[in-house]
Amino acid sequence: MLNINKTQTDKDLVVALEGRLDTMTAPDLESQLQAGLAGVEHLTFDLKGLEYISSAGLRVLLSAQKTMNKQGDMVVKNATEEVKEIFEVTGFTDILTIE
């Protein structure tokens, strides 16, 4: 289960994720981002409620990061220790801006 909450103010988009971002839920987030990233300059992922992220989920974050590299910036914040560890292990800390 994954709850996706998008809050957009002008060119700022905050995507709050709650639950598990895995093979089953990643396609949903991917399609929502594909439709919602046009014109966004500052993208923030609020991962306060994210319990788990799998490689399929990481792939979506990577795609978003690549898109935002072209049109603005992207920040990941409030990641739990578990999720932070996954970022650590997979080297995503190198390419993501984690706050």
Across the beta sheet with 12-21, the strand order is 2-9, 12-21, 42-53, 73-77
Q: Which amino acid is at 78?
A: N
Q: Which stretch binds another protein (CB under 8 A): 6-14, 39-47, 51-59, 72-80?
A: 51-59
Q: Which stretch binds another protein (CB under 8 A): 8-16, 36-44, 70-78, 90-98?
A: 90-98
Q: How many residues bind another protein (CB under 8 A)?
A: 18
Q: Which stretch binds another protein (CB under 8 A): 10-18, 32-40, 49-57, 72-80?
A: 49-57
Distant-in-sequence, close-in-space partners of 22: CB < 8 Å, separation ≥ 6:
52, 53, 54, 56, 57
- DSSP structure class, residue 58: H
For binding to another protein (CB under 8 A), which residues are involved?
22-24, 54-56, 58-59, 62-63, 66, 88-92, 94-95
